[in-house]
Structure 1
Amino acid sequence: MICPHCERSLLRKERTGNTCSHCERRYALDPKTNPLRLNDLRVQRITAALTDNGRVRITPDQLWYALSRKRIGERGFAPGCAGGALVGAGFVTIWGLVAEASFVLYVSGALLATALGIVIARQLGAGGGILPMSRGAFRSEALAEWQRVYGSLPPGVVDNSGRPWPPRPAADSPNPNAVLVCPDPSIAVFLAANGLPDRHGIALVQGLEHVRALLPHLPPRGPVLVLRDADAGGELLVRRLRADFPGRPVIDAGVSLRTIRGLPQAVAYRDPVRKPTADEVGRLTALGEFSAEELKWLAQGWRFPLVGVPPVRLLSVLDRLAEQIGRSVDGERRDASEVGFMTWPGAAGDGPDPAGGR
């Protein structure tokens, strides 16, 4: 690996204890000792790309996905597994033929069967999409070590460990143009850190109960935006919101399942802990909107997360959508004001308040 400080190429014996033997400075990550095979220079390079060289701020989870993409796409069985089994089977077979030992030939057959099984499993996708390092482990191991060495997170990465969700809008804040539902706290912090809710007058919330509380403050056609992962839970969330608020526009601003599955650079992963239940799969099936292949994909727990969308692109798309909504809502409010729906006669103090001082 290359030393991030003096840029010398280091052999394994020249970097004992994560310390360069040439400049004697400590670095954070060694590709030989972490599951993502990270080194400091790669983290710096990927962080600069994600933040557009410091123009936007990102969260640790967005950095986690970008650094994990390559490893997630690899199969769980290493290429050498089948080859090793085949070589072993070859040696054992020769020995068995020479020694005329039937037991040894049985062992050879077992090794050959194992190698064939590994090859077939790899072709069928076994082991694919498994996380080499979870989000939590990335924070507690890789980023924690980075902070110990450098004293802070990589430039542009927001430390949201103490605030998993952005602060709620103040009670006296202006009425929002729209509500944005985002179940992923990491993406919510990302949007807040880059000023999107304040810039467009959007209330950023986490769940259905927050939407209900804000609906009376929205314009008549002020929409509910849903920003969610491409997975079983995300698909059901959109339908749930539309069913619960039939008179309100509900816009799916999340990742499109069909679009994302057709993009080679969009690497999905599986999380066995978060596989959908039989009831959830049944509800998805009953919708009649998904092909058999898509239902199988969702049922196996595959997902593409919002943190996998390039941050600059995500902000750009949401900015354009929010601008369209703002123009539409401003027109509604202007029309309502002209016919007196949102202002009281004499509001400037020309008489008593017809609402009785409320």
Structure 2
Amino acid sequence: MICPHCEHNLLRRERPGNRCSRCGRQYALDPKTNPLRLNDLRVRRVTAALTEEGRIGIVPDQLWYALSRKRLRDGEFASGCLGAAALAGVVATVAALVSEIPHLLLVTAAMLVVGLGVAVARASGAGRGIPPVAREAFPAQVLAPWRQVYGALPPGVLDTRGPAGGPAPGTGAGPVNGVLVCPDPAVVAFLVAAGLPARYGLVPVRSPEEARAVPSSGPVLVLHDTDAYGELLVLQVRDALPGRTVVDAGPPLRTVRALPQAVPYRDPARKPGAQQMRLLAGLGTFTPEELKWLGKGWRFPLVGLPPARLLAVVERVAGQVTRGVDAELRRAADLGFLTWPDAAGPDRAGGR
């Protein structure tokens, strides 16, 4: 590992207690002791790419996904390793039979059963796509050691532990032109920090019930993960707000799955049930293969989109749906003041 301070290449024995034996300075993350195999230099590189060298602020959840992508992509079924383990179990069992030692026979038979069971489970996809560090555990396992060593989060990463600052639209911040429904508080914090909801007069809420309570008859944008629950959220909002213009601003499943840099993951705690799958099938918009994929709990999270691209897409959709609501906003949009640069380029944080 390269020391993030003096840049010497250190062997494991040369960095006891996460401290460089050359310069004597402490570092936060060691690839040998954290499940994401991170080091401080990689965290800095990925953070710089996500923030576009500090141009935008990101939330910790976006950093979590970017740092987990490589492990998710590489976490495929290693048939060679498991095959070798199963072969070893077979050889040991045969040896036990030949030696006629009962205790050894029981032990090797148990080893063989366990090895074959693991091989079958891995071959069928068990454990694939599950992040080595859960999203909820990322602050404690990665950000806490970073804070301890450097005294703050990586540059450009917003501290979302406290309440979001500034008044929400409709509470003195300006006119209310519509509602932005997004159930992910991290994404809402990211958009609020960028000033996007206030700029377009959108009240950010997390549920259809909260959207119904907003005193506005303007359009409703629904921003959601690309997963079973996200697709159903649009239906729930339309049912809760009959007669209102509801715009699905979530990334389309077919489009995201076609992107080579998009890496899905699974959350076993959020696997859709039979009722949700019946509703999705009733939409008639998904192929059988896509329904099977959604039914296994696979998802592309909003925090996985490149932050600049997410801002650009939401900005474009918000501008389109609110342009006819507020005359002053419409004039500014026509003059091009709210036009963002094209953010459709490659994801520079991918795979780093």
Letter in 2 for 1:48: A
Q: What is the deviation of 1:13?
A: 0.4
- Match status 1:146 vs 2:146: yes
What is the CA deviation profile of residues 92-142 of structure 1, one whole-angstrom value per residue up to 9, with x for unaligned ones? 54x468758899789878766766655554443232111211122110121
What is the CA deviation profile of residues 25-80 of structure 1, one whole-angstrom value per residue up to 9, with x for unaligned ones? 00000111111111100100000000000000000000000001111234476563
**Distance (whole Å) between structure 2 residues aligned to residue 322 and residue 333 of structure 1:** 11
- The residue aligned with 2:21 is 21
Kept in 1, the 8 Å contact 2:212–2:240? The answer is no
Gaps of 5+ in 2: 331-352
**Distance (whole Å) between structure 2 residues aligned to residue 202 and residue 195 of structure 1:** 10
- Match status 1:259 vs 2:255: yes
Kept in 1, the 8 Å contact 2:208–2:236? The answer is no
Q: Among the aligned pairs, what percent are the same residue?
A: 57
Kept in 2, the 8 Å contact 1:2–1:8? The answer is yes
RMSD between aligned residues? 2.9
TM-score by length of 1: 0.82
- SS of aligned partner of 2:210: helix
Letter in 1 for 2:73: G
**Max Rg structure:** 1
Kept in 2, the 8 Å contact 1:241–1:250? The answer is yes
Equivalent residues in 2 for 1:4-153, closer than 5 Å: 4-75=4-75, 80-90=81-91, 93=94, 95=95, 99=99, 118-153=118-153
Equivalent residues in 2 for 1:273-288, closer than 5 Å: 273-288=269-284
Q: What is the deviation of 1:187?
A: 0.4
Letter in 1 for 2:284: G
**Distance (whole Å) between structure 2 residues aligned to residue 5 and residue 22 of structure 1:** 10
Q: What is the deviation of 1:2?
A: 0.8
Q: What is the deviation of 1:284?
A: 2.2
Bigger mean CA deviation after superposition, 229-238 or 257-266? 257-266
- The residue aligned with 1:242 is 238
Larger RCO: Structure 1 or Structure 2 (Cα < 8 Å, ≥ 6 residues apart)?
2
Aligned length: 329
Kept in 2, the 8 Å contact 1:14–1:21? The answer is yes
TM-score by length of 2: 0.83
Gaps of 5+ in 1: 335-358
Cα distance change of structure 1 residues 132 and 167 upon mapping to structure 2, 3 Å threshold: farther
Q: What is the deviation of 1:245?
A: 2.2
Kept in 1, the 8 Å contact 2:182–2:223? The answer is yes
Kept in 2, the 8 Å contact 1:83–1:115? The answer is no
- The residue aligned with 1:230 is 226
Q: What is the deviation of 1:14?
A: 0.5
**Distance (whole Å) between structure 2 residues aligned to residue 166 and residue 144 of structure 1:** 26
